[in-house]
Structure 1
Amino acid sequence: MYARAAIGLVPGFNRPGWLPDTVLERQGVTVDRAHLAEYDRVCGFRLCDTLPVTYPHVLAFPLAFRLMSRRDFPFPVVGLVHVANRIELHRPIDAGEALDLSVHAADLREHPRGRQLDVVATASVDGEVVWRDVSTYLRREGKGSGRRRESEPAEPPPASARWRLGPRVGTDYARVSGDHNPIHTSRLGARLFGFARPIAHGMWSKARCLAALEGRLPEAYTVEVAFKLPVLLPSTVAFSAAPEWTFTLHGAKSGKPHLTGSVTAA
């Protein structure tokens, strides 16, 4: 799939101007307990028999990547920017349950900096949708690539915790997620896309924030995040959470936002 994604960058590779109506599925996906334990360790979750809300995203990632690597997908997957993610957890999912996974693309739309689309994944048990994930990707295009003038950023909230992130955050998450994008694992790869150092995966940042709230969240909820500035590795970040279940991740010294999120009970 990565070879196919690289071929998609070749000039003259014709693509349609619309989203495919393709739906990719996998039936009866079971959880490898050793892999789950490693994911929990990398993201900071406690070991238990209930899946972290972000874990099915990892199970669905091969389908999502295959969909975005297809010839009939409107953009090359390399270069798409993951700008937001929303997960709806309808009930706790036990690690022993077999999941039916489905992935499709939706809602290609204009954006001030290019075009956006959603990749929608669901996990079902015995025909019941128990989890739904919407990842929003931005395709930057010349007509809207200029930076917009924005107001001065607000003062970040007081930190609930500070985390020192080493360079292994990128490679460790790549290993457990299957997402080996070189901007997360290679200094050279990061530089090719304009980053001084590798950057943390956005879904790792979301998972780490939710791990910090573990044990205090409702059994069914929706969690939405917007990915702001990338987290360069290594670095120190500050996590802040408010009682009404909003949370942020920002630079410990600069205060610049990396992620903003909210949780809404179902």
Structure 2
Amino acid sequence: MGDRRDGGRKRVELGRLPAAGPLYRRALLGTLPGRGGRGDGTLPAVELAVGGVTVDRAHLAGYDRVCGFRLTDRLPATYPHVLGFPLGLRLMTGPGFPLPLVGLVHVANRITMHRPVDAGEPLDLVGYAEHLRPHARGRQVDVVLVASVGGTEVWRGVSTYLRRERTPDGGAGRDPAERPAPPAASARWRVDRQVGTDYARVSGDHNPIHTSRLGARLFGFPRPIAHGMWSLARCLAALANRVPEAYTVEVAFKLPVPLPSTVDFSATPEGGFALHDARTGRPHLTGALTQAAPA
């Protein structure tokens, strides 16, 4: 492990990606009384870096199957997020991170693929947090992950997390307008209960709200919910024939997908897409895919 200054942040070079299990245990211990100080309310000026991360093709194939992608050596846009997920966990469970990991809600994601990435290309990964800011329901923060090949950025992902907290206005500012009618469905999918544990296995995200009825109930959900990044990946798999060589996909996660459930997927010629509850029409996810200039 080494460190240096880069762009105003202290870069910490790790010899390998951290293991997710101990980081989750650290996060759970931090919820106990008297444990887990949260620093001074600002984000640590640090970024974590790991060089030469290689793709296990068997793992990639397992991920493709769980999310509905075709089995190829080209990485889906959501796959580098899975590779670098332990860096985000390490950042958010660090002693100076101002928001506790347990209870954070993944509310939005933006991914840019600058070019296709092959499974045989080793990736250099860098992760950091930025833009801690107030929100009508608490505070938000962006966790950024960048993947490079040979010194050139090929992929960038920004995950936005919300910490629900009491605010002076009591959460004012929420849109009181009636929910618009959902668009016509392009496809209807049955999302089985097993999706939670299957995606946890291939992503390393073993948050119990996705895999355990008891864990889900502890956080106010009557039954486990699907990972937001699985929902995004499943939508991108359905859009595979429309995806250009370089593109940006932005998504807002609305209401969670309970497991099991049936959802309607819709897409527009302009690149918009959405996921709604098949029975009630309530929105789970809305997104847009736009062509991007190559890096």
TM-score interval, smaller chain: over 0.9
Match of 1:50 in 2: 74
TM-score, scaled relative to structure 2: 0.88
Consecutive unaligned residues of structure 1, counting only runs of 5 or more, are none
Task: Please list, as runs of the form range in 1=range in 2, the aligned pairs for 1:124-135 lying within 5 A after superposition.
Answer: 124-135=148-159
In 2, distance between residues paired with 1:257 and 1:149? 15
Q: Secondary structure at the match of 1:225?
A: strand
Q: Distance in 1 between matches of 2:113 and 2:247?
A: 5
Correspondence for 2:137 among 113, 119, 122: 113
Question: How far does residue 215 in structure 1 lie from its aligned partner after superposition?
Answer: 2.3
Structure 2 SS opposite 1:142: coil
Partner of 1:104: 128
Query: Could you say which residue in structure 2 is the equivalent of 1:259?
Result: 285
Cα root mean square deviation, aligned: 1.1
Unaligned runs of 5+ in 2: 1-22
> 1:189-225 CA deviation, whole Å, 9 max, x = no partner?
0000000110000000000000000122110000000
Rounded Cα–Cα distance in structure 2 between residues aligned with 1:156 and 1:145: 29
TM-score (normalizing by structure 1): 0.98
Which residue among 10, 18, 37 is the counterpart of 1:14? 37
In structure 2, the partner of 1:162 is: 188
1: distance between equivalents of 2:86 and 2:74? 22
Displacement of 1:11: 2.9
The answer for the alignment partner of 2:146 in structure 1 is 122
SS at match of 2:240: coil
**2:103 pairs with 1:83:** no
Equivalent residue for 1:4, pick from 5, 20, 26: 26
Residue of structure 2 equivalent to 1:243: 269
The number of residues matched between the two structures is 266
What is residue 136 of structure 1 aligned with on the other side?
A: 160
Output the CA distance in 1 between the equivalents of 2:175 and 2:71. 45
Report the CA distance between 1:142 and its aligned residue: 1.3
AA paired with 2:38?
R
Map 1:66-77; keep pairs closer than 5 Å: 66-77=90-101
Identity %: 70
Deviations 1:40-64 (A, max 9, x none): 0000000011100100000000111
The code of the aligned residue for 1:78 comes to V
Which residue is 2:214 aligned to?
A: 188
- Residue of 190, 214, 220 corresponding to 2:246: 220
* Equivalent position SS for 2:285: strand
**Residue type of the alignment partner of 2:237:** A
| Aligned-partner Cα distance in 2 for 1:149–1:211 | 31
Deviations 1:113-151, CA, capped at 9 Å, x for gaps:
001010000000000000000000001101266474621
Match of 2:8 in 1: none
Structure 1 residue 14 displacement after superposition: 2.4
